[in-house]
Amino acid sequence: MISALNRRLLQAESQVYRNEILVGKVIKALENTLYKLEKKEFEELGQRSKDEAVKAALYLASHPAPTFPDYPLDAEYENNMEKVADLLDDVYSQVKDDDKMVDRGEYEDGEEEGAEGNGNSNTVSITDEEATKLCMEWKDKYNVVVGVSWGNLPYNLQQTWLEYSCDYHLQAEGKPPSREETTR
């Protein structure tokens, strides 16, 4: 009886060993198949990425950067660079906000930059609603494509656009612009 049990135990161990080898082969075959599928998916994803990059490059190539305006210099400033520098200082001490000028260069007596106190600040503070309203006006007026193109938006308003976070305010519920918006 013991020899019969030993023989059955040996047969069972032998069967387990064969099953182990078979399961190992099945797992190896599944891993190879999975690798091939993943590799194919990655290759397809890589190709789609390249296609999108080419589309973006073609779009950008078909919409060249706007030319910088050429402003002729008045004769009174032609040979007097100090006068030009003073004029530029005067202009850049103010920020053009569409139709109104906000002076940023002067401080109240005794007030220093960044000082707190009477509530007078050198930065323009507006609410999100006001910023969104202004951004929408500029977007429509200057053909801005959010996150893609400045359109005809003047440089000084581009800076204000960035200060007001217009890209953030004008994205539909935090989503990036749609493909239709980027192909205008």
Q: How confident is the model at residue 61 (pLDDT cuts 50, 70, 90)?
A: confident
116-170 pLDDT, tens digit each: 444 444 456 788 888 889 999 999 999 988 888 898 999 888 988 888 888 888 8
Q: Which of 52, 66, 55, 68 has the alpha carbon at shortest distance from 149? A: 66
Length of the chain: 184
For the chain, the average pLDDT equals 77
Residue scoring higher pLDDT (30 or 171)? 30
* Average pLDDT of the residues in 16-31: 92
Q: Is 138 exposed, middle or buried (0-12, 13-18, 19+ CB in 10 A)?
A: buried
Residue scoring higher pLDDT (184 or 153)? 153
Residue with tokens 């260069």: 105
φ and ψ at residue 40, rounded to 5 degrees: -65, -45
Predicted local distance difference test score (pLDDT) of residue 84: 82
